C-alpha cells in the first residue's frame, strides 16, 4: 500500500473492510471524504453511528426497527394470518417492492449452515415459534433463499412447524422472467418443472 498520512491510511483501511470494496475503491472513497466539507463528513459519520445507536430489532418479528414494533407489525392493515419467513431484513425490501404481499414477516437473521457452525440456536427460531404462538397466523411462507443453506433451513422449519397445523408454503423457484430455458441450469429447470402450476 502506498504511503498515506496516518488518518487517511486508517480511513482507507476501514473502507476496505466493507463488502465489495478493494484498495482502489477505498482510496477513491477516502479521498472523496478528504475533499468533502466538514459538514458532509460529519453527516456521513453520524449516519453510520445512528444505524448502530438508533436501530434495534422488532420484539415480534426481529425485523430492524426504530421502535419496539417494526412498521409491519404496527400496521393493522397487514394480514396477521400470513407470516413470511426470510433470512435477512433486506429480503423484506425485495418482497415489498413486488407489492404482492400484504402479510407479516419473521426475520431469521441467517440460514442453517452446519459447516460454518450455524445451527438453529444461532437463528431466530425460538422467536418464530413465539411469534406464531401469540399471533393469529394460519399460513407460514418459507421464503429463505434458494441456496443449499436456504433450502436446508426451509426443510428444517417445515418439520419443526408441522405439529402446529399451519399451512406451510415455500416460495416458488424456477426460470427467471425474460430468461431462455436453454440457459437455465438443470437444478433451476428441475425446480421449475416440479413447481409448475395450472393456468
Ligand atoms: Zn415486526
Domains within the chain, CATH numbers bracketed: 6-54 (1.10.8.420), 70-167 (3.40.1360.10)
pLDDT above 90 coverage of the chain, percent: 78
Measured in Å, residue 159 CA sits from the centre of ligand 1 at 24
Return all residues near 146 (Cβ < 8 A) that are at least 6 apart.
173, 191
C-alpha cell at 138: 394460519
Chain segment 129-184, per-residue pLDDT in tens = 999 999 889 999 999 998 899 999 999 999 999 999 999 999 888 887 787 888 88
Cα gap 84→171, rounded to integer Å: 10
Measured in Å, residue 71 CA sits from the centre of ligand 1 at 7
Measured in Å, residue 95 CA sits from the centre of ligand 1 at 15
Contact between 116 and 175 under an 8 Å Cβ cutoff? The reply is: no
pTM: 0.80
Measured in Å, residue 37 CA sits from the centre of ligand 1 at 38
Measured in Å, residue 111 CA sits from the centre of ligand 1 at 19
Measured in Å, residue 55 CA sits from the centre of ligand 1 at 13
DSSP 62-84: --EESSSS-HHHH-TTSEEEEEE
| pLDDT at position 159 | 96
Residues, the chain: 199
Query: Is the confidence at residue 1, as pLDDT, over 60?
Result: no
Measured in Å, residue 62 CA sits from the centre of ligand 1 at 6
Amino acid at each position: 500500500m502506498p504511503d498515506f498520512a496516518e488518518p487517511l491510511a486508517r480511513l482507507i483501511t476501514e473502507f476496505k473492510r466493507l463488502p465489495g470494496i478493494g484498495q482502489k475503491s477505498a482510496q477513491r472513497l477516502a479521498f472523496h471524504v478528504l475533499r468533502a466539507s466538514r459538514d458532509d463528513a460529519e453527516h456521513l459519520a453520524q449516519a453510520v453511528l445512528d444505524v448502530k445507536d438508533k436501530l434495534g430489532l422488532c420484539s415480534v418479528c426481529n425485523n430492524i426497527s426504530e421502535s419496539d414494533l417494526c412498521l409491519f407489525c404496527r400496521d393493522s392493515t397487514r394480514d396477521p394470518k400470513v407470516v413470511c419467513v426470510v433470512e435477512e431484513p433486506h429480503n423484506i425490501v425485495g418482497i415489498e417492492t413486488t407489492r404482492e404481499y400484504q402479510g407479516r414477516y419473521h426475520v431469521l437473521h441467517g440460514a442453517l449452515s452446519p459447516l460454518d457452525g450455524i445451527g438453529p440456536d444461532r437463528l431466530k427460531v425460538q422467536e418464530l415459534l413465539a411469534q406464531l404462538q401469540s399471533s393469529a397466523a394460519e399460513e407460514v411462507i418459507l421464503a429463505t433463499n434458494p441456496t443449499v443453506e436456504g433450502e436446508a433451513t426451509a426443510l428444517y422449519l417445515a418439520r419443526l412447524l408441522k405439529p402446529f397445523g399451519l399451512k406451510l408454503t415455500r416460495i416458488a423457484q424456477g426460470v427467471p422472467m425474460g430468461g431462455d430455458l436453454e440457459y437455465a441450469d438443470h437444478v433451476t429447470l428441475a425446480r421449475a418443472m416440479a413447481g409448475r402450476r395450472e393456468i
